[in-house]
Structure 1
Amino acid sequence: MDLAGQTEGQEPLVDRPITAGAAFEGSAEIAEARALARDFLVSVQAVHGLPVSARAMGMVQLVVSELVTNARKYAPGPCLLDLEISDGAVRISVWDSSTALPSVQAADPERIGQHGLEIAMAVSQTFCVQREPVGKRITAVIEMADDPGGDPSGRQPS
């Protein structure tokens, strides 16, 4: 092993992405998805020394919960959760087997429930829905550090 933490023929550790992932099949596993996200971010701080704000910790768990809940509620079969650290942000990706793309409903203060997608979009820096050869993938990105301008989503003013 050399000073870069690699053995011959192996990529340097610093160039490898920091990732975690799991498959979920039951609604009881939504809490496990949140715990996976929390444990992943705790590890990112402790093992890799990357700062994760309390806001980011909460928002990542919230978005994971909402996306996995929707996948379990509206798609048959398992869903896949992938988390990746890139450029100071957490990329949350949830795949499910349904080809139906989600839609955000019009604002209605009297509507009970079905606000999860709106919430996930509001707190994410970027949000993308794409069809896959089988099913779809929803990806949200949350900044790990608080925005100096105070925007809770980490977005820059336009």
Structure 2
Amino acid sequence: MNGETKTVRRTPASGVGVGVVETAVELDGADGSIARARALTADFLTAAPRGGGQGSGGAVPARTVDLARLVVSELVTNALRHAPGPVLLRLRLAASAVEITVRDGDPALPRPCAPDPTRIGRHGLEIVRAVADEFHAVRETAGKRVVVRLRL
């Protein structure tokens, strides 16, 4: 994808159910990549109606947009800091949830640190897990995929 943003609209093959809107961008770690990921997230979620334009629900709540930006910022920062190569950010919006997926080239799964209010920094994964309705990380052939879902 080389830094290009791609938006795709899909509905289930049977034509029954709620549509999904998604977008993806590959980030190379150049200056501004994290800010770009946050901006893409906010723009995507504020522009797309819930349910992928199927008339179910209206705009994504501002609180969900803010939480999604926070999650994207933390996950993309971690991936760019700890993994080789580009990072793929994918955002999916359906009637019931926002799904944030970050793929990178390091197969090591993220491990949150034990809570420690005296520690400075390294709280990102704790924050993500605290605000997420679902969180999982999966090893892939070349790297890993971290997926977070935020209910609308």
One-letter amino acid of the structure 2 residue matched with residue 51 of structure 1: A
One-letter amino acid of the structure 1 residue matched with residue 85 of structure 2: G
Report the Cα distance in structure 2 between the residues aligned to 1:88 and 1:124, rounded to whole angstroms: 14
The CA deviation at 1:100 is 1.1
Show the 5 A alignment for 1:9-24.
16-24=19-27
Report the Cα distance in structure 1 between the residues aligned to 2:106 and 2:44, rounded to whole angstroms: 27
The CA deviation at 1:15 is 5.8
What residue is the counterpart of 1:37 in the other structure?
41
The CA deviation at 1:73 is 0.3
1:103 aligns with 2:111: yes
**Moved beyond 6 Å, runs of 4+:** none
Q: Which segment drifts farther, 65-74 or 36-45?
A: 36-45
String of CA shifts for 1:23-48, please: whole Å, max 9, x gaps: 00115210000011001101113983
Aligned partner of 2:79 among 46, 65, 71: 71
Gaps of 5+ in 1: 1-9, 145-158
Show the 5 A alignment for 1:113-132.
113-132=121-140
Q: TM-score, normalised by structure 2?
A: 0.81
One-letter amino acid of the structure 2 residue matched with residue 120 of structure 1: V
Aligned partner of 2:90 among 82, 86, 101: 82
Report the Cα distance in structure 2 between the residues aligned to 1:96 and 1:53, rounded to whole angstroms: 29
Q: Does the CA contact (< 8 Å) of 2:41 and 2:91 recur in 1? A: yes
1:28 aligns with 2:32: yes
Report the Cα distance in structure 2 between the residues aligned to 1:42 and 1:106, rounded to whole angstroms: 35
Report the Cα distance in structure 2 between the residues aligned to 1:133 and 1:21, rounded to whole angstroms: 20
Instruction: Name the SS of the counterpart of 1:45 in structure 2.
Output: coil
The CA deviation at 1:11 is 8.3
String of CA shifts for 1:81-102, please: whole Å, max 9, x gaps: 0001134100000000001111
The CA deviation at 1:143 is 1.5
- Between Structure 1 and Structure 2, the one with more strand by share is 2
The CA deviation at 1:20 is 0.5
What residue is the counterpart of 1:148 in the other structure?
none
The count of corresponding residues between Structure 1 and Structure 2 is 135
User: Which entry has the higher C-alpha Rg, 1 or 2?
Assistant: 1
